[in-house]
Structure 1
Amino acid sequence: MFESNASSESDASELRGVLWDMDGTLLDSEKIWDVAVAELSLELGRVLTAEVRTSTLGNSMQGALRKVFAHTGTEATEQSLGWARDWLTDRVGHLFSEGIPWRPGAKDALGLAREMGLGTALVTNTERGLVETALETIGREYFDFTVSGDEVEEGKPHPAPYLLGASLLGLDPSHCLAVEDSPTGSLAARRAGCSVLLVPSEVEVSAEPGYVLRDSLVGINADELRSAWCDARSATSS
């Protein structure tokens, strides 16, 4: 069982922090990953299928690479995984440097959370080098802390990234709303004890206890952000 290092608070009656996923939630970067992962699959000798690509969405780097390796029949050794990680990181970094589009409403939603005085952290499976490149687009001023996939024991769907994000903010996860787009990330947030505002991007995600679904972040206001946290939390406890 996984527990937060943050001190537990007896009064869990208000939203105090927002934990933001990055790829597919704040930035429309999954399409960039589509290009790079497809190219890697070809480099390994087989055309990537839509099914395999979909299965990698929201995965850690190692998780995604192992699925591509299984698809291409490539032996997953420490050396081969290291080569593929470097190849994919270099390619995505180059594509990121050409510009990353925002997801609809995401920039305004980031500003809203800051205006509300909430603690905020970026929590992503993407590794630190690429996160630093992406932050040039997003803006570091929107976050008190950032958590990347290579800074935790395991990436999403393990709860470790969200537990660390909440801990850095000094909050119990129950006081936090995670904003996610993928099944993998949403599961990680729920396992950590966060409420989840789920805004699907590349794949459909079914409603689950603890999730509140929204078509996009466009036009979201403070009351709706608080209600998403409250409704998701109520659904989990009912």
Structure 2
Amino acid sequence: MKKAVIFDMDGVLIDSETFYFERRMDFFQAKGIRPGSVQLKDYVGKSEEQTWRMLVPDDDQKRYMLRREYAEFRDKNRIDFTKALRDSVPIVLSTLQSQGITMALASSSPRSEINLMLEDCQLRDYFSFVISGEELQESKPHPEIYLLSKEALGCERNLAVEDSTLGIASAKSAGLYTAALKQPFPMNQEAADVVINQLEELLELV
């Protein structure tokens, strides 16, 4: 029986949620503008579009202009993916690969950020399929990203690894057994089939 593991990126492979949040808050502070929410939990697991609607909820034109300006700010203040990568990721991925497990990466992040992470951390060869939020009609918690991943992999058994409430809902709606990686900040992961403290625990699940 062919088995697959489908990983989310932010909060799972890389410890990035806090960095992204603080970078957005720094940008808005520099602009002298209060964002729609200053709570980290309101942004975890959201697509770029959902994030910006949270940051600037009531003014489409203002949102559009700030998003363009933020792109330049982001490029000047990039995350170091090699430092954000969880220490256990290389050994977990290589072990799964050696066991014949097919792997995919299904992230709401922009394709450019996903590609940078894969290149910087030298992880591209582990994944048979990669999909970003930009390529979807519907964002998490809609199951589209996991349904497309399942179809592309063509395996009989699929396990999703998520961290956010929205991501867990997406994977469960697609019919996947879902493991939630516990986070250092409050996050509702009750809908997951199992909550794990470390990625290494996946090796026992598959």
Give yes or no for the alignment of 1:160 onto 2:160.
no
Q: 2:85 aligns with which of 98, 102, 119?
A: 102
TM-score with structure 2 setting the length: 0.86
Give the whole-Å Cα distance in 2 for the aligned partners of 1:93 and 1:195. Answer: 36
Shift of 1:168: 1.2
Give the percent of matched residue pairs that are identical in Structure 1 and Structure 2: 27
The aligned counterpart of 2:176 is 194
Please list every run of 5 or more consecutive structure 1 residues that lacks an aligned counterpart in the other structure.
Answer: 1-13, 227-238
Shift of 1:103: 2.3
Please list every run of 5 or more consecutive structure 2 residues that lacks an aligned counterpart in the other structure.
Answer: none
The aligned counterpart of 2:194 is 212
Runs of 4+ in 1 over 6 A off after TM superposition: none
Amino acid of the residue matched to residue 94 of structure 2?
G
Shift of 1:93: 4.3
The aligned counterpart of 1:144 is 128
Amino acid of the residue matched to residue 200 of structure 1?
K
RMSD over aligned Cα atoms? 2.3
The aligned counterpart of 1:19 is 6
Trace 1:169-180 onto structure 2 (pairs within 5 A).
169-171=153-155, 175-180=157-162
Query: Does structure 2 conserve the Cα–Cα contact (< 8 Å) formed by 1:62 and 1:81?
Result: no
Aligned length: 202
Are residues 108 and 67 of structure 1, via their aligned partners in 2, closer, same or farther at CA, if it must alter by over 3 Å?
same
Give the whole-Å Cα distance in 2 for the aligned partners of 1:83 and 1:176. Answer: 41
Shift of 1:169: 0.8
Amino acid of the residue matched to residue 116 of structure 2?
T
Shift of 1:95: 3.7
Shift of 1:178: 0.5
Give the whole-Å Cα distance in 2 for the aligned partners of 1:177 and 1:165. Answer: 11
